[in-house]
Every structure is written in C-alpha cells, then in structure tokens.
Amino acid sequence: MRTTIREVAREAGVSPSTVSRALSMPGLVNPVTRERVLRAAKRLGYEPNRAARGLITGRTGNLGLIVPDLANPFFPSLVKGVQARAREADYAVFLADSDEDPAAESDLVRVLAKQVDGLILCSPRGREEDILTLAATTTLVMVNRRFGRVPSVVFDNSDGIRQAVAHLAALGHTRVAWVGGPRTSWSNRDRIRALRSATDAAGMDLYVAGHFPPQFEGGIAAADLIIASGVTSVIAYNDVMALGLLGRLRDRGLRVPQDISVIGIDDIQMSSMSSPTLTTVSLTKGQAGRAAVDLLLSLLEQPDGVRKPRRELPTQLLVRASTGVAPTD
C-alpha cells in the first residue's frame, strides 16, 4: 500500500492540509513544522498521488509526444531531447507513434489529449484543419511544421540549404538535383523553396526529382533519375534517402564524390558511418525536443502571454566525404 497524506500528517502530528502546504507551498507554513513534515514524509517514503492531485488541480503533470515513425532515425533523437527536458521539469512523457497514418494519429491525439497538460506534435502531413481543431482545445506545439498561429519549433532550412548550395558552388558544381520527400510534407515544401532561391541566387541549374517516400528505398528509387539527369551534385530530402542514393549510385558504378557529390539533411548517426561518410545539413534534433518542451511549458504557464510562440533552430552544414570538386568531364 502506498502511504497517503494522512499518514504523513499523523506521523508529523499535524493535519493533512498542513502537509499539503508544507510540500507544495512552503512559506505558507512555519519553518519548524515544515521541517517536521518533510522529515516525516521522507521517513515514510511519501510520494503524492498524482491522480488525486490532478483531479483537483486539473493538471496531470504529463506531456504527450506524437511522432509519425520512430523507426525513422530522426525521431529518436527528438524524443530523447523531449524526454530529458520534460524530466527536468518533473513532467512525464507519453509517447505515441502514429505509424505514418494520419487517421491513427487523430485517434491517438484524441485519447492522449485527455491525459496530458500539453501535446508535442510531429505531424508533417496531418490535415491543417484537424490540427487547428486540436489546437483550439489543447495546448500544443508542432515540430517541423509551421502554419497559422500554432506554436511551433522548426529548423532554419533556408540557411542550411544555402550553406549546402554555397559549398557545392565553391566546389565548382553548376548543376544540382533535389531528391524530394513526400509531396505533402511541410518540410519538403519548405526545403525545396529554400533550395530554389539558393540555386537561383548562385546561378545554378536545379533538377527536381519528384517525390519519394522518405526512406532508404526512396533514395534508391531516385538514383537512376539523378544519373540520367546528368547533374554533378544532389541534395536529398533527408539522410536516409541520401544513403539509399549512395548505395544505388555505387551499384550503378558511379564514384562518390569523384563523379557526383551527395548531400543529405538531418545528420543521423548512420551518415557518419556510411562509405563515403555523408556531407549533410545537421539539425539539432535534441535541442528541438528541448525547445518544444520549453515552449509548451511556457504556454502552459501563461496561455496568452508568450511573446513568440515560434522557435527556429539553427542548422549547420557538416562537410564529410560525399562531396568533392565537380568532375571536369
């Protein structure tokens, strides 16, 4: 049986109210009594029952985190960041994986929303209206997507991509291809927009190779188009796809980076282990998780008073072995 507040009260020779106050609003209680209460609590190993507290305060002390696919190495890092920051703030985290299924996602959200104080949502493709409805009833922060007045944490894709393009230009490349992710993904749209303006500014030719699933297979599927297009460099929607690309390019007999340079986005662990190691736009995924929690918590404290409910995190090009000077033909 767990010890309750009454037992602590009895042990300390005070009333339950005093125990409650001693624990959660010190200063309202005489230092001497408080000390006595605290000692009694420790002696009995007392931990307040969160359900009971939540029942009356209306807060659960829990956060919800919804990701589309934990198998995508981008997300574990994010989750770790969320985890760590939430723990520091004494919140526990409910994790749900929607398996890339928007329908499952809204179910999840509905169930989860009741049990948490706030929600962190990575839903690159969920319908905007669904999200707006949700935002109206729950405190929520979106990650990797931005629209309307919904609080969000995103990466500065433009800057990272600008760096990538500058890098390629410096290496003498004039033709670059884009291997696109899902058509409906916000990041994908954001990134290609950034890429367009960067290549325009640099006077480079851009070849866009449609939309592919954001997985290894997507990169494989794109490779032959890329080869046929005759570009000397390619930027992929994410690292996993870039790795797929790398594999298929090699199978087709091309050498990276001598024949073609490849850049990814994300900086997942594996990208420093591939051969060649992958040049990539590094995203601070853990920080994004922490930032999302921070934003969420401040939103919870002052529902309207948050001056800037949008955070944009810096990105950084990481040059590794998959990019080199453009082939001279």
Query: What is the footprint of a second copy within residues 304-323 (CB under 8 A)?
Result: none
Q: From the CB of 36, what's the least distance to DNA, in Å?
A: 8
Identify which range of 36-44, 112-120, 174-182, 252-260 contacts a second copy by CB under 8 A. Answer: 112-120
**Residue 258 CB neighbours (<10 A):** 10
36 near a second copy, rule: CB under 8 A: no
60 near DNA, rule: CB under 7 A: no
Location of structure tokens 């853990």:
286
**Which residue in the set 38, 48, 247, 277 belongs to the binding site for DNA (CB under 7 A)?**
48
Identify which range of 28-36, 66-74, 258-266, 305-313 contacts a second copy by CB under 8 A. Answer: 66-74
Which of a second copy, DNA, none sits in contact with 33, Cβ below 5 to 8 A by type?
DNA
Q: Which of 74, 143, 90 is nearest to 295 (CA)?
A: 143
301 near DNA, rule: CB under 7 A: no
30 near a second copy, rule: CB under 8 A: no
242 near a second copy, rule: CB under 8 A: no
Q: How far is CA 328 from the centre of its chain?
A: 40
Identify which range of 4-12, 22-30, 76-84, 122-130 contacts a second copy by CB under 8 A. Answer: 76-84
Q: From the CB of 54, what's the least distance to a second copy, in Å?
A: 4
CB within 8 Å of 220: residues ≥ 6 apart? 244, 245, 247, 248
How many whole angstroms separate alpha carbon 146 and alpha carbon 124? 9
Choice between 4 and 272, CB closer to DNA: 4
CB within 8 Å of 86: residues ≥ 6 apart? 63, 92, 93, 293
Query: What is the footprint of a second copy within residues 204-223 (CB under 8 A)?
Result: 216
CB within 8 Å of 21: residues ≥ 6 apart? 28, 29
What sections of the chain are H helices per DSSP?
5-12, 16-24, 31-44, 50-57, 74-88, 102-113, 128-137, 157-170, 186-202, 216-229, 239-251, 285-301
Q: From the CB of 21, what's the least distance to DNA, in Å?
A: 5
How many whole angstroms separate alpha carbon 26 and alpha carbon 248? 64
270 near a second copy, rule: CB under 8 A: yes
Whether 303 and 149 have beta carbons less than 8 Å apart is answered as: no
Choice between 129 and 329, CB closer to a second copy: 129
| Total binding residues toward a second copy, as defined by CB under 8 A | 42
89 near a second copy, rule: CB under 8 A: no
Whether 292 and 250 have beta carbons less than 8 Å apart is answered as: no
Three-class SS state of 281: strand
**Residue 114 CB neighbours (<10 A):** 9
**Which residue in the set 11, 14, 152, 242 belongs to the binding site for DNA (CB under 7 A)?**
14
Query: What is the footprint of DNA within residues 28-47 (CB under 7 A)?
Result: 28-34, 46-47
Choice between 59 and 310, CB closer to DNA: 59
- Helix (H) or strand (E) holding 180, with range, is strand 175-180
244 near a second copy, rule: CB under 8 A: yes
Q: Contact residues for a second copy (CB under 8 A)?
A: 2, 47, 49-52, 54-55, 60, 62, 70-71, 73, 75-77, 79-80, 83-84, 87, 92-97, 99, 108, 111-112, 114-115, 216, 243-244, 247, 250, 269-270, 273, 275
Q: Contact residues for DNA (CB under 7 A)?
A: 2, 4-6, 13-21, 23-25, 28-34, 46-49, 52-53, 55-57
